[in-house]
């Protein structure tokens, strides 16, 4: 059985998240998702939704077999525990695949890294990022 790991912040769930996780699930037979803890999110604004609530929401999605909170100090701990065959990255996630592969190798984790496909972003009304959702809420609800 091919085990796949996907990971992300998953702050406000949107169609881009569902597409990513569906794509990741199609890469194997079992999908585990690691949800980043708020304290570990440094590449963008911190999440609005609490850690455990984000984990619960991701766990409820059909493509997901198991959802895990990331480790507070070492992002590789859950990957070592899950022992995936594939790590599926979102098509626009900030990870450098070569650096990630090297770091996995240093930890003795032997798995393939793949990128999920892009979802059509041409429709301006389609909210495919948490930032766009927040911007829309602020624009439509501010006094």
42 is in an annotated binding site: no
Which residues are CB-contacts of 27 (< 8 A; sequence separation ≥ 6)? 2, 4, 86, 88, 114
Residue 124 to residue 139: CA distance in whole angstroms:
15
Report d(CA 9, CA 45) in Å as an integer: 10
Query: What residues pair up with 4 in beta bridges, in sequence order?
Result: 31, 86
Consult the annotation and say whether 14 binds a ligand.
yes
pTM of the predicted structure, to 2 decimals: 0.91
Annotated ligand binding at 17? The verdict is yes
Structure tokens that stand for 101 in this block: 């592969």
Q: Show pLDDT as tens, one digit a residue, over the chain (143 residues).
A: 999 999 999 999 999 999 999 999 999 999 999 999 998 988 888 899 999 999 999 999 999 999 999 999 999 999 999 999 999 999 888 888 999 999 999 999 999 999 999 887 677 677 778 888 888 889 888 86
92 is in an annotated binding site: yes
Distances (CA, A) of 97 to 32, 60, 125, 126: 19, 28, 31, 28
124 appears as a binding residue in the annotation: no
Domains, the chain, ordered by start:
3-141 (3.40.50.620)
């Amino acid at each position: 059985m091919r085990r796949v790991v996907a990971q992300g912040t998953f702050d406000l769930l949107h169609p881009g998240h569902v597409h990513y996780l569906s794509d990741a699930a199609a890469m194997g037979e079992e999908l585990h998702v690691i949800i980043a803890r708020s304290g570990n999110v440094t590449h963008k604004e911190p999440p609005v939704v609490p850690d455990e609530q984000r984990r619960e929401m991701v766990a409820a999605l059909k493509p997901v077999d198991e959802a895990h909170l990331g480790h507070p100090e070492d992002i590789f701990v859950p990957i070592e525990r899950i022992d995936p065959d594939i790590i599926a990255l979102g098509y626009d996630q900030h990870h450098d695949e070569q650096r990630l592969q090297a770091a996995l190798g240093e930890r003795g984790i032997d798995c393939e890294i793949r990128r999920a496909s892009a979802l059509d972003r041409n429709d301006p009304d389609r909210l495919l990022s948490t930032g766009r959702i927040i911007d829309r809420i602020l624009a439509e609800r501010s006094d």
